[in-house]
Structure 1
């Protein structure tokens, strides 16, 4: 049995592309009112137009860089003022930068970008959003993790560390909110073909394509299905974690290619 979510508000970070975009569309189709945050307002407005056409609802759109506390505060406050409530936070904003071993990485800006976005940004969003959920008597935090938060691999030390941190934060938060009306979930995908690898390889499309060569990766819509399913379970049901990989993948670096 699914939860009736009509009128509930879902707030999505990194909503301008990939898993964030797909989740925004599917959550809206499931009945959520959606608030979309990302650095590219033009892309958000295009997604809002799709949501309007598909569901008839007006999505809330606002620039958001989760690395900056003042933007996070302004975004959450604006969503609460606009809708009067916040029921779901999808902490989707995240990225990987580079594949160099730790001792060969000279550009620590890559490390800063991953840690500030994947960890600090998630913490800032959670800190601002959850009190509104508790006040409203209903809430759900869904964190977009990764199998990289369960299995480290060479060339991904800092990215893996950031996703291990997401899993630790998720588990601790669930304990901290015990007895409160807020559910906490992590969705941990394996290989998903989005802009992720393009960003990791600094825009090199050929290298990004090679990551998925000879195998069938997951899609953003596959992960959005998991997010929406977890979000629409009855209120007394908490899905702690969803680990999802393509059939062609058994773990980090363990991929069947044809």
Structure 2
């Protein structure tokens, strides 16, 4: 008797894969045996990720309809139009101004990447998720979606909007074989998030983590994402909030406590 053929690997598109949580997630899923299409705008960073992990890559701007249409074509080419997971990591924060001093263009950019980017990619790839018979939409939101804080209005609004996409989609897809998962990290230290938010001011970015010895890492978040996607498909983690031990709430951080 011939040996049974090995099952085909699960497939995933991971956005925001050039750095931070997106890159760590693409790396982790590839290590777990997924066939990963890692997407981001920066082709040089995608090339280094591919060399490191064997991930497939495609340059995509999630704020562009035509770019996302090209992603659909790439998924069809690589995976035959069938896909198991869309992992929406692309996003980020810009600025810490009060509402009265808000930079409209920064707010617009946050809305385009976090909210409309997630919408574009998810909407475009839903047919491929349906075709697989085992689909997942994962949205990386933030504890910034839980409650407002001074200087965070734009990011609060963007991440709350992204949360509403996940919630509405879960209701709309009820009865289909597609899970909708939301992962909401608190304080995470990555190489770019706070630096970009604070306009490249390294000292200011470092102060965000003053007195916190172990903020979350991108790899911590990737572990949670991999667990959620790898759980038996009848198990849906609707919303997972993940914070470092030092952070009890968005406004409550034990600094200097050795945590």
Give the TM-score, by structure 1 length. 0.93
The structure 1 segments of at least 4 consecutive aligned residues displaced by more than 3 Å after TM superposition are: none
Q: Which residue of 1 aligns with 2:18?
A: 16
Q: Which residue of 2 aligns with 1:55?
A: none
- Consecutive unaligned residues of structure 1, counting only runs of 5 or more, are 53-58
Q: How many residue pairs end up in the alignment?
A: 248
CA contact (8 A) 1:5 1:32 kept: no
Q: Which residue of 2 aligns with 1:72?
A: 68
Q: Please say which structure displays the higher CA radius of gyration.
A: 2
Separation in 2 of the partners of 1:189 and 1:19? Answer: 10
- 1:71-92 superposed Cα distances (whole Å, 9 cap, x missing partner): 0111122122112221101000
Separation in 2 of the partners of 1:97 and 1:235? Answer: 36
Aligned pair partner of 2:203 in 196, 203, 206 = 206
Q: CA deviation at 1:254?
A: 1.1
Separation in 2 of the partners of 1:171 and 1:126? Answer: 13
Q: Which residue of 2 aligns with 1:62?
A: 58
Q: Which residue of 1 aligns with 2:3?
A: none
Q: CA deviation at 1:5?
A: 8.0
Q: Which residue of 1 aligns with 2:109?
A: 113
Measured at CA, do residues 243 and 193 of structure 1 come closer, stay the same or move farther in structure 2, by a change above 3 Å? same
CA contact (8 A) 2:83 2:131 kept: no
Q: Which residue of 1 aligns with 2:96?
A: 99
- 1:135-175 superposed Cα distances (whole Å, 9 cap, x missing partner): 22120011001000111111111110111111111111001
Give the TM-score, by structure 2 length. 0.93
Helix, strand or coil at the partner of 2:183:
strand
Choose 72-81 or 29-38, whichever is displaced more: 72-81
> CA-atom RMSD, angstroms?
1.3
Q: Which residue of 2 aligns with 1:133?
A: 129
CA contact (8 A) 1:13 1:93 kept: yes
Aligned pair partner of 1:225 in 217, 223, 226 = 223
